[in-house]
Amino acid sequence: MTQLQNHTDEWAQIIEIFQNKGKLIKLRKKEFYAKQNESFDSIGYVKKGAFKLVYHNTKKQWIKSFLFEGSFLGSIPSILQKKPSTYSIISIETSEVFVLPKNVWKQLFGEESSFQKFLIQFLTTLYLKKEKRVSDFLLLNARHRYQEFIKEYYPHISRISQIDQAAYLGITNVEVSRLRKRFFANNPE
């Protein structure tokens, strides 16, 4: 899903709901939170850790996005339409997630105005992120996609393997290595 940037009282209430009504689960590195082609009926709030959202076929994988602390995990079609998820959600490091079952989530959506505001903000953020991701892939070359990747994920770049960076960017591991050398040679810290 995605991460929202909001520090209002309503936001604190949403996090509190996940902490009080959700179940805390721990995942090891490379453990699945959700599997492609399977339905699931919960939403997770990442307390600690990192995840990748991965599309697989028999020969290749593509990474949709990376999520870190303060992000939400799930699949909108799977949750709302009872359809199998089109991607897997896999931990890329030891992680902790508060899991809120769909029935609790739906009840809160019907009762809590703060939850309704959260959902509108969440869906808006998700849509804008998806639009940017698609336009980057269609309009930018590999070098510019790498620059956008660095902008978006810079605080977490050391947590994302080079192989996963390549799968996210749609290029080879060797090409990521070349881009990384060029980028950081021109942008020393």
Task: Report the half-sphere exposure of 161 (CA within 13 A, side-chain side).
Answer: 13
Q: Given this model, what pLDDT does residue 144 score?
A: 95
Q: Which amino acid is at 73?
A: L
- The residues with which 91 forms a beta bridge, in sequence order, are 51
- pLDDT, tens digit, 9 for 90 and up, residues 101-131: 878 877 877 776 667 777 788 788 888 988 9
61's tokens: 């994988």
Residue for token pair 């076929």: 57
Residue pair 95/20 in contact by the 8 Å Cβ criterion: no
123's tokens: 């869906």
Coil, helix or strand for 45?
Answer: strand
- pLDDT, tens digit, 9 for 90 and up, residues 138-156: 999 999 999 999 999 999 9
Q: Given this model, what pLDDT does residue 32 score?
A: 96
Mean pLDDT of 88-111: 88
Give the contacts of 83 (CB within 8 A, at least 6 positions apart). Answer: 39, 77
**DSSP track, 76-107:** HHHHHH-PPPSSEEEESS-EEEEEEEHHHHHH
Give the C-alpha separation, 66 to 162, whole Å: 13
Give the C-alpha separation, 137 to 142, whole Å: 9
- pLDDT, tens digit, 9 for 90 and up, residues 32-87: 999 999 988 888 999 999 999 999 988 888 999 999 999 999 887 787 788 899 99
- pLDDT, tens digit, 9 for 90 and up, residues 151-172: 999 999 999 999 999 999 999 9
